[in-house]
Every structure is written in C-alpha cells, then in structure tokens.
C-alpha cells in the first residue's frame, strides 16, 4: 500500500483478523472485515462529496462506530480528522469549525440543533447525520435553512449504502497531518494541535509496549473518544493490536460494572472521578471484576482511598501523564510501583524523553522543581495556523514546553507539581495546588477538590479550597485546616473553603479552574 498512515490500519488488520470482533456497541457488533468495508464505503462517500487529501472533516457525536469509521476514512483519503467536544456551545463549535476550515461535518442526530447552529460563517458544505443505530431514518427536521450558506444535508447510513466498497489507496506518510485536536481551553482560547500520522503511530506503539496490550484484550471505552487519551491510548492501540473495543456513549457506573462482567473486560481507562464513582456504586461489592487487569488513570493523582478500594479487590492502577500535544502519552507508572512511588506520574514512555528545566532552560538536579519538557516522535511539530504559539512552545528547537511544573527523583520518576499558570505565590513562597489537592482528597468527606489563589492584603495571594462533599458528609473550613495541620506546611494550608454542588469540568474530567475563578 502507498498509504503508510493510520488509515491503512484496518486494511492491514483485516488480513490478519478479519472475522474477529473489532467493535461492540449499542449499534451492534462489527468484525474487522465489516469495519474495514464500512470505512472503505465512507471514504468513497467523502471523496464523492469533494473531500481530498489535506481537507478537514469534523465529527460531533458521542462514542459510536461512526466516529471510528470517520477517523479511519479520513486516514484513507489523507484528510484531517477534527473531533469536536459534544459539551461545547454552538459558538464554541463554530470557532473550531472556522479555525480548522472544515468542509464536511458528520454529526449525531441527538446533536442536530448544536450542529445546525454552529455552521454560520464556516466552510462546511456537506453534513452527514448519524442515526442512533448508525443506520438510516427519515430526514425529519434536518434542514440547512438555519444557516446563511448552502449546506447539503444527508443521512450517514444512506451515504454509506450508496457508496462504492472499493479500497482507496492514497499516498500518506508519517509526516502528513492526521488529526486536529483542540486544547481544552482551561487557560484561554483553544488552539488546534496538529497530530501527524507518525505522532499517533508512535504513541500507540508506546502504549502497546508499556501496557502489554495483546489481541485478547477487551477494552471498555467509557470516556469520550473526542478526548485524546480515550482515542489515542484507548481505542487506537487496541485496534492496531487486533483486540476488541466496547463503545459506551455515556458513563453509568452500574452499567459499566455489568458490562465488565458480561464482556469479560480486561482494560478500562478513566480519570480519578470515574474510578471513584465505580467503587462507590452499590453494585461494586458483588460485581465480578476478575477479568480486569489493566486500569489506566490520568488527569490527576488517584486518591488513596480509591486506590485502596481497588487493591482490596486485587486490581492495581497504571497512572499516566500526558497532554494533547504529545498524542498524549509522556509517562506511565507501572502497577508494581504504584505504592512505592505513590504520587508519581512514572517513567517516560519507551520512545519518549523528558527533562526538567529551570527558568533559563538549564538542567536541574533531582528533586528540584522546574518545567517539564518533552521530546519524541509522538510530540506535535505545530499548532494549526498558530506559528507564534508554535515557536513559543519549543525550547532548543525540539523540546516541547509543557507549561507544567515537576521534578524527578533519583530513579528518574516524574512527580508533577502543577500548571505553571496555576502556581500560587504567597508571601514569596511557591505553592503548587496539585500537591495541596492530593492531601485534601484523602479526607473522607471530600468528593473532589480544586485549590486556587485568592487575593490577600498581607500575603499577595493565599490558597482557597473549593470542594464537593460525598453524600451524607459535612465539613467545615476549620475541620479541614485541622486535618491538614501537620500534613502540609502552614503556608500551604487553604485559608478558606467553599463547598459547591459540582465542579465545572472539561470533557476529559479535568476541573476548569478558570471557570471556578469566574464563578467565585
């Protein structure tokens, strides 16, 4: 094949695993052969509608086979896939469609209103609407009348049925753009990270090597695929290896426990909140979890009580650190070191390197905090149409500046302190909120926590804790300070506490501190 990119994976995999189940979902079961054929048809359908190499195709929808098919169909054509966050408001979607210059949008019928409202002023000329089961249904109210330019709206299932099934082989290399993923926007206007076919491939190789993924694995995808960790460290490595993926559109703890037992799930990815809700579900104690052997957690440190709950069931965690710009894997903490290196993000992935740099770009000694910088074939080379942001994001031309602060111990294990932008400077002392949050999360009453800096006449700024409480629990600021006394230096202990019903979060589960600051 001339196509050496991710689009060729299903074509190559069908030769080895044609009859094996690739995807299980509410829409049905697809073998690797069936998934490859549907992807061929979709690629032909997209090409018939004017999509060519380098063009951008956006997708707006929950976890569904059509997401997977659109991703691989773009790869077959050499087009660039743009997954959109389903939680975004129409103006936010509109910005990303405009910024990427997408010419075709695939959207779930359930998100029809958002899709229609986001098209004004974009370059989108065609839209394919996915029925709940991925099949066909009447057009109903689907109409381009709400937008100011001509958009041809068709049913996704009908487009596939009417397209040729012949394979497409476009010359695609590892340096070609494969996907634009927009940063979560926790610190400002989102930027499009342009991931190449090589970035995605090397990240998947890293994941397969470091997680010992094999063809017998069954991965349950409960986190949104439009998030880089779910897609690039969950779905894609599994399909590359020939394993089976179970797609869930929504996260429901009781249903997840049921699926683990019925489908003999071996692999589960999520954020600390996900795993906390699972072990607090009434069905946890009786659930058969014997098939689980790979739990991967990212986003933030795992609270000790959650770690205990799983280890009591004989299940360990692999903790990860990464970001969109690294496709996303940077480090991974092996299960057998999770207790010994509690709080660590682990060691660099097999084909990834990192260093800790001081403000002048110099090396620091073990234990000294500095900026985490990353290099490797999984690291992006550019932001989409943002040359200034690209130039500012690299040190010495090849080291990506993460904007995260951290240190390495004597064995090279990484400990992430916090975002550089989130660091609190109180009376000249640096306070890293992640460190304080990790200790607060050990309190039995606390469900989730965020620590931010608030103005103070004497110290400039001081830490404030924002918490949600577990059901039936209560907590006062004085009780929290008493709990932290002796566990943290006095200047790190929050001077005030606010209890909220819920935390504003990104799609990946990270707390939006910028939004919290605005609310409070």
Distance CA(423)–CA(419), nearest Å, equals 6
pLDDT digits 0-9 by tens, 216-261: 999 999 999 998 999 999 999 999 999 999 999 999 999 999 999 9
pLDDT tier for residue 199 given thresholds of 50, 70 and 90: very high
The yes-or-no verdict on residue 387 having pLDDT over 80 is yes
Q: Enter the tokens of residue 499.
A: 């209890």
Note the pLDDT of residue 428. 65
Note the pLDDT of residue 142. 44
The DSSP code sequence of 260-299 is HHHHT--EEEE-HHHHHHHHTSTTTTT---TT--EEEE-S
Beta bridge partners of 192: 182
Are the C-beta atoms of 75 and 42 separated by less than 8 Å? Answer: no
The yes-or-no verdict on residue 136 having pLDDT over 60 is no
pLDDT digits 0-9 by tens, 492-515: 899 999 999 999 987 667 788 878
pLDDT tier for residue 420 given thresholds of 50, 70 and 90: low
Angle, helices 272-279/304-311, rounded to nearest 10 degrees: 50
Residue 219's H or E segment, with its range, is strand 218-221
Note the pLDDT of residue 143. 43
∠ CA 54-58-59 to the nearest 5 degrees?
A: 140
**What domains, with CATH codes, occur in the chain?**
6-173 (3.40.50.980), 197-376+389-418 (3.40.50.12780), 423-519 (3.30.300.30)
The yes-or-no verdict on residue 148 having pLDDT over 60 is no
Ranges 86-90, 258-262, 415-419, 432-436, most confident:
258-262
Rounded mean pLDDT, 19-31? 97
Task: Give the CA distances from residue 422 to residues 403, 431, 446, 464, in Å, rounded to whole numbers and listed in that order.
Answer: 10, 9, 21, 12
Residue 354's H or E segment, with its range, is strand 353-357
pLDDT tier for residue 338 given thresholds of 50, 70 and 90: confident
The yes-or-no verdict on residue 144 having pLDDT over 60 is no
Distance CA(308)–CA(286), nearest Å, equals 17
State what percent of residues in the chain have pLDDT above 90.
73
pTM, whole model, 2 decimals?
Answer: 0.84
The long-range contacts involving 406-412, CB below 8 angstroms and separated by at least 24 positions, are 406/345, 406/356, 406/369, 406/370, 406/372, 407/356, 407/364, 407/366, 407/367, 407/368, 407/369, 407/370, 408/356, 408/366, 408/367, 409/344, 409/366, 409/367, 410/366, 410/367, 412/347, 412/348
Are the C-beta atoms of 105 and 127 separated by less than 8 Å? Answer: yes
pLDDT digits 0-9 by tens, 402-414: 988 899 999 999 9
- On average, the pLDDT of the chain sits at 91
């Amino acid at each position: 094949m001339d196509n050496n990119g991710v689009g060729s994976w299903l074509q190559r995999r069908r030769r080895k695993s044609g009859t094996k189940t690739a995807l299980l979902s509410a829409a049905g079961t697809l073998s690797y052969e069936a998934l490859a054929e549907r992807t061929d048809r979709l690629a032909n359908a997209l090409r018939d509608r004017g999509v060519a190499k380098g063009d951008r195709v956006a997708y707006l929808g929950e976890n569904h086979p059509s997401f997977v098919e659109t991703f691989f169909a773009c790869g077959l054509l050499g087009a660039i896939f743009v997954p959109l966050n389903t939680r975004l408001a129409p103006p936010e979607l509109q910005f990303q469609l405009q910024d990427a210059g997408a010419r075709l949008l695939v959207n779930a019928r359930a998100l029809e209103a958002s899709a229609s409202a986001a098209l004004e002023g974009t370059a989108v000329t065609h839209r394919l609407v996915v029925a709940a089961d991925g099949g066909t249904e009447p057009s109903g109210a689907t109409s381009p009348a709400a937008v100011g330019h001509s958009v041809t709206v068709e049913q996704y299932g009908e487009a596939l049925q009417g397209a040729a099934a012949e394979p497409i082989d476009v010359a695609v290399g590892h340096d070609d753009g494969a996907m634009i993923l927009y940063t979560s926007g926790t610190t400002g206007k989102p930027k499009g990270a342009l991931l190449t076919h090589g970035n995605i491939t090397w990240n998947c190789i890293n994941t397969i090597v470091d997680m010992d993924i094999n063809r017998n694995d069954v991965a349950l995808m409960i986190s949104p695929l439009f998030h880089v960790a779910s897609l690039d460290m969950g779905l894609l490595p599994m399909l590359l290896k020939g394993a089976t993926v179970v797609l869930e559109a929504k996260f429901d703890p009781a249903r997840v426990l049921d699926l683990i037992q019925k489908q003999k799930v071996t692999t589960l990815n999520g954020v600390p909140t996900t795993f906390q809700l699972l072990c607090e579900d009434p069905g946890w104690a009786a659930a058969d979890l014997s098939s689980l052997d790979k739990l991967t957690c990212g986003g933030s440190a795992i609270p000790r009580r959650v770690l205990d709950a799983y280890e009591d069931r004989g299940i360990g965690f692999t903790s990860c650190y990464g970001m969109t710009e690294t496709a996303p894997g940077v480090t991974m903490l092996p299960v057998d070191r999770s207790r010994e290196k509690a709080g660590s993000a682990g060691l660099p992935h097999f084909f990834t390197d990192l260093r800790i740099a001081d403000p002048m770009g110099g090396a620091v000694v073990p234990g000294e905090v500095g900026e985490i910088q990353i290099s490797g074939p999984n690291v992006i080379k550019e932001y989409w149409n943002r040359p200034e942001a690209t130039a500012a994001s690299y040190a010495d031309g090849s080291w990506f500046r993460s904007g995260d602060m951290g240190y390495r111990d004597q064995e090279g294990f990484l400990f992430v302190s916090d975002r550089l932008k989130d660091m609190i400077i109180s009376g000249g002392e640096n306070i890293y909120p992640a460190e304080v949050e990790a200790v607060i999360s050990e309190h039995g009453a606390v469900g989730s926590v965020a620590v931010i800096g608030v103005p103070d006449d004497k110290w400039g700024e001081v830490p404030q804790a924002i918490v949600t409480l577990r059901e039936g629990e209560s907590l006062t600021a004085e009780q929290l300070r008493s709990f932290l006394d002796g566990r943290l230096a006095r200047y790190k202990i929050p001077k005030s506490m606010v209890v909220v019903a819920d935390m504003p979060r990104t799609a990946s589960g990270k707390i939006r501190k910028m939004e919290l600051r605005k609310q409070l």
